[in-house]
Chains A and B, each alone.
Chain A
């Protein structure tokens, strides 16, 4: 029987300094998979910033473990104590959990599913790993479709973007005013842009520095003093400067709101100390969220993700069980095939013996006899086949297979 073996390490077992030394890019991962699969084995290398894992299908599980450990130790000798080694059912379940995002830092994060698919495509697969990865990818998609695990934002900037959608719906064509040219406001703006919003203006104390960020968004750089004017055109304001006081007060926003004719304005203040006057939130049509508000939203959504993760675990376990049953059934497949072949052999021989009698029948009668005898064989073997597969799933497969071989004398002719 072909065994499934997993050797690897992840953020649960190794710090980043160690993980980065065993991390592989796509080409290196594919090359390692080819090397490990040499000799008729199967291998897939999954390497992300949080994990490097080798999935191996070998006839000899011990050899697979030692090959896997050696391959990773070759990259970094110190990694060995941080490696986990899982076999068959446990290894399968692990990949299903990984694909569903249940083993990730943020439960349900979406990137891992694409990374698992890429690893599968770059791997050297055969019947076992093919089936394992296809089922794991299916389970990952199912979990995301049938639970809310991936629906809520997991970072402050994605929470800001989700809030913008609560105010404006589709963000296509909505314009953003970025205040401050730092990394934080840029990141939040990028998240909004990924949902089709457009950065129209970047306001910064130093216009030159603002122009750098503005050029990356194809936006206009303006001095801080012009914020009031641009507020009339913007839908979302993202602010993160190092100014000691407010860069935007309620009176300026109130004036802009009069010209906006009731259009809503969402203001995201990511700065500490705060950039935006809290009194802005009291103005009609203005919604101001500071870093604490966003962090509490993220914390709440993470609680929600964990709650959904419990549902997802049940779904993943069921999917992994299906794979396990299929894998275990491989134990008894040769015995079932031999049993059916023996039965067919007997049926054909008995029909040949009755040839003289059957000659008196016409074609349709002969076909009916063929069909009836085949049906009798099938019906007789159906239950033993099902029972053997069930026994295989319950780990008794080998015993049953041996019993069947013994009772029906399968394989004795070859001896």
Chain B
């Protein structure tokens, strides 16, 4: 019965995605409707997750599809931190369509697991929870970087309409992206470490997902190092963030079976 909450969540997120497209085309009330859609969808999805956790009496998102569901919730939660502000509304244009697609994929993938996991809840929270939280942060950082590149392009083109549509400033987008990554990289490091310890203790093999996650960790760590030690900022840093995000997409969508099988 609780699974029915999926539909209002999807509907609201879908409405938000369409609303943000409308806002991008013509700023006005569409953005406001979209923001309310995100809020309502988030509430529905939160209720869904609570119901799932209560039913399973533990951490039910250890499956590939379940983790995708949790990942979407984390991304939307992170978006809501800034997304309600008017100048950040268009961040939703990058985040919400992505959230809708992933939510549908999660549903098609079978939703949450029904059998109890062979792993403890504490391990799942630490490993899956932290890795997913870090990925959600990287997704948001990539969205901020995409918005940065859009704003930068407008400034470079000297568009006469540049002041008509409010967007966050370049400096704000740049500094928010680096702050989000600075929180996400330690989370990923810890989540990976917990997973690797378990891998060694269970004498399991390193699979493609672990390799790709380590590669993503390397890219995002490099992002921080290049910024602080070599003064990388602005456009170059934004492209690097998008490259790091491409790896997150590969990890979340292209390599599911090997790790959760």
A297: contacting residue among B160, B170, B237, CB under 8 A: B160
Find out whether the CB atom of A296 lies under 8 angstroms from the CB atom of B170: no
Q: Which residues of B contact A289 (CB under 8 A)?
A: 158
Q: Does A285 contact B (CB under 8 A)?
A: yes
Q: Provided the pairs A167-B170, A262-B231 are in contact, do residues A300 and B164 lie with their beta carbons within 8 angstroms?
A: yes
Which of A152, A169, A261, A263 has the largest count of B CB atoms less than 10 A from its CB?
A: A169
Q: Which residues of B contact A261 (CB under 8 A)?
A: 231, 233
Q: Does B244 contact A (CB under 8 A)?
A: no
A285: contacting residue among B158, B167, B234, CB under 8 A: B234
Find out whether the CB atom of A169 lies under 8 angstroms from the CB atom of B156: no
Q: Which residues of A contact B168 (CB under 8 A)?
A: 169
Q: Which residues of A contact B158 (CB under 8 A)?
A: 281, 289, 293
Q: Which residues of A contact B233 (CB under 8 A)?
A: 261-263, 285
B160: contacting residue among A168, A169, A281, A300, CB under 8 A: A300
Q: Provided the pairs A166-B162, A262-B233, A300-B160 are in contact, do residues A287 and B171 lie with their beta carbons within 8 angstroms?
A: no
> Which residue on chain A has the smallest CB distance to residue B164?
A304
Q: Complex: how many Å from CA A227 to CA B123?
A: 59
Q: Which residues of B contact A86 (CB under 8 A)?
A: none
Q: Provided the pairs A168-B169, A168-B171, A169-B172 are in contact, do residues A163 and B234 lie with their beta carbons within 8 angstroms?
A: no
Q: Which residues of B contact A166 (CB under 8 A)?
A: 151, 155, 162-163, 167, 169-170
B162: contacting residue among A163, A260, A281, A285, CB under 8 A: A163
What's the minimum C-beta distance from A231 to chain B, rounded to whole angstroms?
A: 16
> Which residue on chain A has the smallest CB distance to residue B155?
A287
Q: Does B232 contact A (CB under 8 A)?
A: yes
What's the minimum C-beta distance from A250 to chain B, rounded to whole angstroms?
A: 15
What's the minimum C-beta distance from A182 to chain B, rounded to whole angstroms?
A: 24
Find out whether the CB atom of B163 lies under 8 angstroms from the CB atom of A153: yes
Q: Which residues of A contact B107 (CB under 8 A)?
A: none
Q: Does B85 contact A (CB under 8 A)?
A: no
Find out whether the CB atom of A299 lies under 8 angstroms from the CB atom of B169: no
> Which residue on chain B has the smallest CB distance to residue A297?
B160
Categorize the interface residue count of chain A.
Answer: 20 to 34
Q: Does A284 contact B (CB under 8 A)?
A: yes
Q: Does A95 contact B (CB under 8 A)?
A: no
Q: Complex: how many Å from CA A293 to CA B154?
A: 13
Q: Does B55 contact A (CB under 8 A)?
A: no
Interface string of B117-153 (1 = CB under 8 A from A): 0000000000000000000000000000000000100
Q: Does A301 contact B (CB under 8 A)?
A: yes
Find out whether the CB atom of A301 lies under 8 angstroms from the CB atom of B171: no
Find out whether the CB atom of A287 lies under 8 angstroms from the CB atom of B162: no
Near B by CB (< 8 A), chain A positions 246-293 give: 260-264, 281, 284-285, 287, 289, 293
Find out whether the CB atom of B163 lies under 8 angstroms from the CB atom of A159: yes
Q: Does B201 contact A (CB under 8 A)?
A: no
Q: Which residues of A contact B236 (CB under 8 A)?
A: 262, 284
Near B by CB (< 8 A), chain A positions 295-316 give: 296-297, 299-301, 304
Q: Does B161 contact A (CB under 8 A)?
A: yes
Find out whether the CB atom of A262 lies under 8 angstroms from the CB atom of B237: yes
Find out whether the CB atom of A262 lies under 8 angstroms from the CB atom of B232: yes
Find out whether the CB atom of B170 lies under 8 angstroms from the CB atom of A162: no
Q: Complex: how many Å from CA A167 to CA B151?
A: 9
Q: Does A165 contact B (CB under 8 A)?
A: yes
Find out whether the CB atom of B163 lies under 8 angstroms from the CB atom of A287: no
Q: Which residues of B contact A260 (CB under 8 A)?
A: 231
Q: Which residues of B contact A264 (CB under 8 A)?
A: 170-171, 234
Q: Complex: how many Å from CA A301 to CA B163?
A: 7
Interface string of B217-261 (1 = CB under 8 A from A): 000000000010001111111000000000000000000000000
Q: Which residues of B contact A299 (CB under 8 A)?
A: 160
Q: Complex: how many Å from CA A334 to CA B47?
A: 61
What's the minimum C-beta distance from A317 to chain B, rounded to whole angstroms?
A: 21
Near B by CB (< 8 A), chain A positions 230-247 give: none
What's the minimum C-beta distance from B202 to chain A, rounded to whole angstroms?
A: 44
Q: Complex: how many Å from CA A287 to CA B172?
A: 16
Near A by CB (< 8 A), chain B positions 160-196 give: 160-164, 167-172
Q: Which residues of B contact A169 (CB under 8 A)?
A: 168-169, 171-172
Q: Which residues of B contact A301 (CB under 8 A)?
A: 163-164
Q: Which residues of B contact A152 (CB under 8 A)?
A: 163-164
Which of A162, A167, A168 has the largest count of B CB atoms less than 10 A from its CB?
A: A167
Interface string of A152-166 (1 = CB under 8 A from B): 110000010011011
Find out whether the CB atom of B232 lies under 8 angstroms from the CB atom of A287: no
Q: Provided the pairs A168-B169, A168-B170, A264-B170 are in contact, do residues A287 and B156 lie with their beta carbons within 8 angstroms?
A: yes
> Which residue on chain B has the smallest CB distance to residue A287?
B155
Find out whether the CB atom of B167 lies under 8 angstroms from the CB atom of A300: no
What's the minimum C-beta distance from A92 to chain B, rounded to whole angstroms?
A: 30
Report 26 cross-chain contacts, Cβ distance below 8 Å, ordered by A residue: A152-B164, A153-B163, A166-B162, A166-B163, A166-B170, A167-B155, A167-B169, A168-B171, A169-B169, A169-B172, A260-B231, A261-B231, A262-B237, A264-B171, A281-B156, A284-B235, A284-B236, A285-B233, A285-B234, A285-B235, A287-B155, A296-B160, A299-B160, A300-B160, A300-B161, A304-B164
B interface with A by C-beta (< 8 Å):
151, 155-156, 158, 160-164, 167-172, 227, 231-237
A interface with B by C-beta (< 8 Å):
152-153, 159, 162-163, 165-169, 260-264, 281, 284-285, 287, 289, 293, 296-297, 299-301, 304
> Shortest 3 CB-CB distances between A and B: which pairs?
A262-B233, A261-B231, A169-B169
Q: A166-B167, A260-B231, A300-B161 are in contact. List 11 more A-B contacts (CB 8 A).
A: A152-B164, A163-B163, A166-B151, A166-B162, A168-B170, A262-B227, A264-B234, A281-B158, A297-B160, A297-B162, A297-B163
